[in-house]
Amino acid sequence: MVEDRFGFVRVRGELSGVKRAASGHLYLALKDEGARLDGVMWKGGVARLSFVPEDGVEVVASGKLTTYPGRSNYQLVIERMEIAGEGALLALLAKTKARLEAEGLFSPERKRPIPYLPRVIGVVTSPTGAVIRDILHRLADRWPSHVLVWPVLVQGQGAAAQVAAAVRGFSAMAAGGAIPRPDLVIVARGGGSIEDLWAFNEEEVVRAIAGCTIPTISAVGHETDTTLADFAADWRAPTPTAAAERAVPVRAELAAGLAELGLRQRRAVMRPVALGRERLEARARHLPSPQELIAGPVQALDEAGERLRRGLSDRVVLAARQYHTVSGRLSLPLLSARLAAARQRLEGQRLTPALLSSRIAQDRARLEGLGRVLQSLNPDGILQKGYVRVTGADGHTLVSAAQAREAAHLTLHFRDGQLGAVPQDGAPAPGAGRPAPARASAPKPRPAPPEQGKLL
């Protein structure tokens, strides 16, 4: 009777005790101020939900009543469930935003810069809507680029799962593969109500955008629409067209900017040359002309040449006058007398052989006398008589025992050679300590020879 009378009902209430079994079925309860109704939603219906059921969310559940004998109560078998009213959606949105924000998914430190000129742009959107046409048209006007479109549902059942899978798919693409990896990903959708945009508020989509390894731009809805995907993306565009404008620069403006920079560069290169030319011309105007520079030396040269000419003329006149004065005092008889006197003096100074021979004989006798004196002064000459000359290490002759003691090595010069010796103070003479042979009588002392006189 319960199932026949209540084959289709709609119940509005607040979710409580939401639990998803391992089988995929969803068990929950609907409650209001004075009543509570158990409910169950099978796995197939859960997959078609456009939001994640949580405790405290007010929903409208559609299905049929049935009984559960195991507990002796009745329950609602839910076939469709949607959030009840915009206020409930906003409350769920605020709750989800606070939870994800606490995890740091919306932190500004996670935002990455958008590449200035991406070679490949990936777009996650519906392939049949006006959004993709607007993006492609704007890119073609500004900077034609290689665009990869990942077609997805942008609202309704399964939209959130497809959008999240597309973002993760772009992020997982390997660089250098058959399909080029995008340098930028745009997640775009046109405007709509909060229910239409709800897929971009799902936690699955937000986490996929936050975890994407490619810089992302969120362009969901119009300028006044805000979704959680906007907070997770690296940059939020107010419209899909604005996302395309942010993705690439204007080619004409870039070319104009490059031309302007090139012109400024050429001006900057030529500016020092122009300034140098101006300075050179200004300084050249202050320099005197070449005629002015050489006018003074030319005048001085002309004056010096004139003085030289006059000086030579005056010198010739003076020399001629002196010549005439001296030539008047010269005469042939006077010159002949002077020549005869000079010849007579020369004959008086003429040398004779006898005079030269006597001078040579005197010099030879004096030289021979000096040779004899030199031979007598030779210290080695007396060595022929048995004497020895003692020299030190420096070659100087030692004349005392004190000098010999101070020398480390001695050289004894004999008439037929040299011997080395080491000084030894107090050494006994050979044969010391042996008795002297007896003599018959002491020899008579000989008279001392007279002292030899000095040669010099």
Select from 225, 252, 279 the last residue of a domain.
252
- Residue 236 contacts residue 224 (beta carbons within 8 Å): no
For the stretch 384-400, what's the b/e string if a residue is b when 16 or more beta carbons lie within 10 angstroms of its beta carbon?
eeeeebbbbeeeeebee
Are residues 57 and 116 located together in one domain of the fold?
no
**Per-residue confidence of the chain (456 residues) as pLDDT tens digits?**
888 888 889 998 888 889 989 888 999 999 988 898 999 999 888 888 877 788 878 888 999 998 888 777 888 999 988 877 666 677 778 888 999 999 999 999 999 999 999 999 999 999 998 999 999 999 999 998 999 999 999 988 789 999 999 999 999 999 888 999 999 999 999 988 777 888 999 999 999 999 999 999 999 988 888 899 999 999 999 999 999 999 999 988 888 989 999 999 998 999 998 899 899 988 888 887 788 778 888 888 888 988 898 888 888 888 888 888 877 667 777 778 888 888 888 777 666 667 678 888 888 899 988 888 887 777 777 777 778 888 888 878 888 888 888 887 888 888 788 888 888 876 554 544 444 444 444 444 444 444 444 444
150 part of a folded domain: yes
Strand order in the sheet with 417-421: 389-391, 410-414, 417-421
Question: 122 and 75 share a domain?
Answer: no
Domain span at residue 39 reads 2-85
Q: Is residue 185 part of a domain?
A: yes
Q: Are residues 70 and 167 in the same domain?
A: no
Residue 311 lies in a domain: no
What are the structure tokens assigned to 84, written together? 């009840």
| E-only strand ranges, 195-346 | 216-220, 235-236
CATH of the domain at 141: 3.40.50.2300
* Extended strands (E) in 338-430: 389-391, 410-414, 417-421
Any domain includes 62: yes
Residues 244 and 132 in one domain: yes
* Domain end marker among 252, 273, 295: 252
In a domain? residue 131:
yes
What is the pTM (predicted TM-score) of this model? 0.48
Of the candidates 179, 131, 173, the residue with the CA atom closest to the CA atom of residue 152: 131
Enumerate residues 6+ apart whose C-beta is below 8 A from 48.
80, 157, 158
The answer to whether residue 284 is domain-embedded is: no
Q: Are 11 and 61 in contact (CB under 8 A)?
A: yes
Do 248 and 183 share a domain, yes or no? yes
Domain annotation covers residue 42: yes
Tally of domains in the chain:
2
Residues 119 and 55 in one domain: no
Residue where a domain stops, chosen among 218, 252, 286: 252
Give me the residue label for tokens 């004096």.
366
Inside any domain, residue 307? no
Q: Do 212 and 122 fall into the same domain?
A: yes
Q: Residue 9: which CATH number? A: 2.40.50.140
